[in-house]
Amino acid sequence: MNLNDILGSDVVDGDGQRLGEVSDVRFALDAGAGQLLSQGRFVGIVVSPRTASSFLGYERQELSQPWPLAQLLRWWHRGSFLVLWEDIAVLGSREVGLRPGFTAYDARLTR
Amino acid sequence: MKRLLGVALGILTAIGGFVDIGDLVTNAVVGSRFGMSLAWVVLVGVVGICLFANMSGRVAAVSGRATFEVIRERLGPRAGLANLGASFLINVMTVTAEIGGIALALQLASGVSYMLWVPFALLAVWLVVWRVKFSIMENVTGLVGLSLVVFAVALFLLKPDWGALAGQAFALSVPAQEGAGVYWYYAIALFGAAMTPYEVFFFSSGAVEEGWKIKDLLQSRINVLLGFPLGGFLSIAIAGCAAVVLLPAGISVTSLSQVALPVAQAGGQLALAVLILGVVAATFGAALETTLSSGYTLAQFFGWSWGKFRRPAQAARFHVSMIVVLLAGVAVLATGVDPILVTEYSVVFSAIALPLTYLPILVVANDPQYMGKHVNGRAVNIAGVIYLFIILVASLAAIPLMIATGAGA
Amino acid sequence: MSKFPRSRTVVLTFLVILSALLTGCSQRPSAEALESPAKEVSSAVRAASLAVDLRISDSTTAAAASTTADDMLGDVESATDHVHRLSAQTQEERVLRNDALAAFSSISRALLHARDALTSSSGGPNDGQGQTQLTTVQGELRVATEQLDSLMTKAGIQ
């Protein structure tokens, strides 16, 4: 499965209620470079209620300039949340289903 | 002393490099139809290009990434590709217009039809792109292009009524014989001519070509902040010549040969010769820049090795794509389409596509991960957001105005 | 049996709409439709006049001046094509269109002469024959310009 198939697909919760769209996918690099490359670990997906368009990097809190643009993008992506890999039940080609009782983490990145 | 010379050279090439076929034609058309009443747009455009070039040059020098590498990283491959497509098409259009401009100027010098000069211009541009060192190419065309100062000299020799010209410039109103739609259409065209995107790709890629470091930022800032406004002053002089001679005579510009009429009237054959030299150099320089820009944008997006600092064999795809672009431009000219018409459309489409490249640069110039402590200052950001608004409005208004006015007819 | 007339009505309606669309699309030679080609030609002939003037005073080269005349000839040709495409329906429109075409063609002729005279004018002010030729051509351009101007005034194009 390519990341492109996940990005922009609908996200539903355990009851089939639509929550939004996948606007980003988060990875973590846990170790230094191994034999080939350091392994990227799929941390989770960012679900945005309104738009699957890019955050343009404004999910990072240290990026706050130019102010009107940052405000506009944050407003557009308001209510976004991060869902961890463990809470994803189905990663289908059409939609992503979450487990009942999933935890919605803050999608913002701080230093 | 050497440093001072470098600064002077940079400023001079920036002046000569600012004016291309788009500026020549658009300013003359506007001067002959609207007098000086659109001079303010040149001012707005010059401040805009200074701002844009300053940001993209800084991003290139600090992060070592040129514009399209940044666009792909920030927008992702899909939106980036759409962006690349639009920018690339406009680049090809501009290459076509510039090669047509070289050929038209050579026709003016020789009386031989421009169609016969097109293959010659193609070959010359390709050879220089292939063989000549970046800095030599830049400095020679920029310095020779400076002979376009003849427009300013001609304007003085014509002894115009300065008060009346200033009156037109400051009245900020639509002249009686033209409609408001046409006025605003040409305002956008003039804005697009001053803020052509290729200048920025070229500027930021040039920064990488010449291996700029953070310590070179000051010099680049001086080049931009002095060179571009002086180039804008030349643009206004072109419009002024047309406004003084052609507007009262009831002549509206449709060809390059008409642009030369006021200069010949003011300064005779000598001035005409200098003008033709300047036009050839300016369009030739711009043809090089646009050809390189199309190579840069493609190579930067797809991650090919690029740059004139590499031997052509080590940047083969970069060089092949430039050959293809040149051939495409010549194929368009071979259909017999009027190069002046291509120019008029290319400046408007430049204005339409401008937000696509401006926005990512504005965002990245603020990103500490790329820029460290060299992020935009407060004043630059205020201006940057104001221009984002202007650029968006011009971009959105261009197509409706083009349809409503029949492309300014 | 009853279907046949109905389909004919449909076809007829379609044809009526189509013809209405076609006549709506092809402009008629009113003063408005003539305005832009007439202005284009007026600008072209004035530019060529200026080029001839500059050549007479030796301010410009033969190559540059003949290029101007050639470019202007192209402009007049495209304006003429434009007017040819206008479809006249009333007598009045036909007269207006023909007058415009007549004015354009005398300007075309004058421009051709101008281009030839400019191309062969080699000697500058010392070339007596060339000067006479240019002066003649200049007179021809003036007459043709006046013809167009009076037509534009008559048609109400400012």
Domain locations in chain B as residue ranges: 2-405
Residue C25 has pLDDT above 50, yes or no: no
φ, ψ for residue B113, nearest 5 deg: -50, 140
Contact between B255 and C40 using a beta-carbon 8 Å cutoff: no
**Is pLDDT at C125 greater than 70 in this prediction?**
no
Q: Is residue A95 part of a domain?
A: yes
Q: pLDDT at residue B387 above 90?
A: yes
What is the pLDDT confidence band of residue C4, given thresholds at 50, 70 and 90? Answer: very low
Q: Which member of A4, A57, A68 has the closest CB to residue B367?
A: A57
Contact assessment for residue B207 and residue B366, using Cβ atoms and an 8 Å cutoff: no
pLDDT, position C44 = 93
Please tell me the least confidently modeled range out of B99-108, B228-237, C91-100.
C91-100
Confidence of residue C1 (pLDDT cuts 50, 70, 90): very low
C5 has a pLDDT exceeding 70: no
Q: How confident is the model at residue C158 (pLDDT cuts 50, 70, 90)?
A: low
- A109 pairs with which residues across the strands? A60
Tell me if chain A has a CB within 8 Å of the CB of B82. no
User: Which candidate from B78, B368, B385 shows the least CB-CB separation from A69?
Assistant: B385
Minimal Cα–Cα distance from C152 to chain B, Å?
Answer: 14
Given a cut of 90, is residue B227 above it in pLDDT?
no
Mean per-residue pLDDT for B161-178? Answer: 80
The lowest-confidence range among B71-75, B145-149, B317-321, C51-55 is B71-75
pLDDT at B95 over 60: yes
Single out the residue of B76, B82, B301 nearest to residue A2, CA to CA.
Answer: B76
Strand A10-12 relative to strand A40-48, pairing: unpaired
For residues B222-233, give the mean pLDDT: 86
Residue-level pLDDT at B238: 94
Strands A88-91 and A95-98: antiparallel
How far, CA to CA in Å, does B402 sit from each of B70, B172, B383, B397?
31, 21, 28, 9
In this structure, of B192-201, B291-300, C51-60, the range with the lowest mean pLDDT score is B192-201
- Name which of A60, A66, A67 is nearest B362 (Cβ-Cβ): A66
Q: What percent of chain B has pLDDT over 90?
A: 38
- The pair of three-digit structure tokens given for residue C147, joined into one six-digit string: 């013809």
| Domain tally, chain A | 1
Residue A83 — very low, low, confident or very high, per pLDDT cuts 50/70/90?
confident
Average confidence (pLDDT) over B231-235: 90
Residue C6 has pLDDT above 60, yes or no: no
Burial of B173 (0-12, 13-18, 19+ CB in 10 A): exposed
> What is the model's pLDDT at position C27?
62
ipTM: 0.84
Interval A39-77: pLDDT, tens: 777 888 888 887 777 777 777 767 777 878 887 877 887
| Averaged pLDDT of chain A | 77
Angstroms from B240 CA to nearest CA on chain C: 17
B63 Cβ under 8 Å from any chain C Cβ: no
Partner-chain contact B252 C119, CB within 8 Å: no
Position A66 scores a pLDDT of: 80
Angle (CA) B187 B67 B9, round 5°: 75
Among the residue ranges B13-17, B262-266, B275-279, the one predicted with the least confidence is B13-17
- The mean pLDDT value for C18-36 works out to 63
Chain B (250-279) residues lying within 8 Å, Cβ to Cβ, of chain C: 250-252, 254-258, 260-261, 264-265, 268-269, 272, 276
CA distance C124 to C118: 10
Any A CB within 8 A of B367 CB: yes
Among A93-97, B129-133, B395-399, the minimum mean pLDDT is found in A93-97
Chains C and A touch (3+ CB pairs under 8 A): no
Mean per-residue pLDDT of chain B: 87
B2-405: CATH, from 1.20.1740.10, 1.10.645.10, 3.50.50.60, 3.30.70.270:
1.20.1740.10
pLDDT attached to residue C3: 41
Residue type, B97: A
Low-confidence winner among B104-118, B164-178, B345-359 (lowest mean pLDDT):
B164-178
pLDDT band at B240 (very low <50, low <70, confident <90, very high): very high
| CA–CA distance, B66 with B359 (Å, rounded to integer) | 15
Does residue A111 lie within any of the structural domains? no
Most confident of A90-104, B10-24, B223-237: B223-237
Rounded to whole angstroms, the Cα distance separating B196 from B26 reads: 13
Give the domain range for residue A76.
3-106
The predicted pLDDT at position B253 comes to 93
Q: Nearest-CA neighbor of B199 among B386, B395, B17?
A: B17
Whether the per-residue pLDDT at B366 is higher than 60: the answer is yes
Tokens 């083969």, residue located: B316
Q: Pick from B78, B368, B385: which is nearest to A62 by CB? A: B368
Higher pLDDT pick, A61 / B66:
B66
- What CATH number corresponds to the domain at position A43? 2.30.30.240
- Kindly report which listed range (B61-65, C124-128, C145-149) carries the lowest average pLDDT score: C124-128
Residue A7 has pLDDT above 70, yes or no: yes
